[in-house]
Amino acid sequence: MLTVGDQFPEFSLTAVKGGPEGLKLDTAFIEMTEKTDAGKWKIVFFWPKDFTFICPTEIVAFGKIQGDFADRDAVVYGVSTDSDFVHLNWRLHHDDLKTLTIPMLADVKRELSEALGILSKSAGVALRATFIVDPENVIRFVSVNDLDVGRNPAEVLRVLDGLQSDELCPCNWQKGDAFIQLAA
């Protein structure tokens, strides 16, 4: 599995756009690469399958704080191994996903998931992996959950705040808290 300090892999995937454009067949799809949103921090999170139970709770939670990520010059991408058409259908038929503002990328060939090393060996789908990638395309944070356990997007935001501070952040540090100061 790729980890902190590694380059995030190159990719080219079709995505269903976030927002109202992502709900119309003629405007829903866009090609995205690692160069999309160049120069920004990226939060890239993976879920196993569309039309499941835990996944929409996470996707909606990331969507609800997408503006907080944007305030920190970060973009959020959601990815699964389902197709772009499955993503669109899910958005159209799941009330909580109709207002989603983040793109849903389709890693149908599993190339990005394999390059990152996050495919479940037993299920053949992406694990619940989350990556924070800096503007130079370097992975700065990785978290991977078992298929049955959802993650906490607020914790991802907290870690992003810590990474962007370029300071020493103690346990449970929150933006605005004091940093660890080394004695001179």
pLDDT tens digits, residue range 131-175?
Answer: 999 999 999 999 999 999 999 999 999 999 999 999 999 999 999
Amino acid at 5: G
Strands lying side by side in the sheet with 41-46: 29-33, 12-16, 104-106, 74-80, 41-46, 128-133, 139-145
Domains of the chain: 12-151 (3.40.30.10)
Cβ contacts of 31 within 8 Å, gap of 6 or more: 12, 13, 14, 15
Backbone angles phi, psi at 146, to 5 degrees: -60, 160
How confident is the prediction for the chain on average, in pLDDT? 96
Told to judge if 55 belongs to the known catalytic residues of this protein, a careful annotator would answer yes
How confident is the model over 61-105, as pLDDT tens digits?
999 999 999 999 999 999 999 999 999 999 999 999 999 999 999
Mean pLDDT of 49-55: 94
Tell me the average pLDDT across 28-35: 97
Q: How far apart are CA 144 and CA 150, in angstroms?
A: 10
Secondary structure class of 98 (helix, strand, coil): coil
Q: Which of 13, 43, 55, 104 is catalytic?
A: 55
CA atoms of 168 and 83, how far apart (whole Å): 41
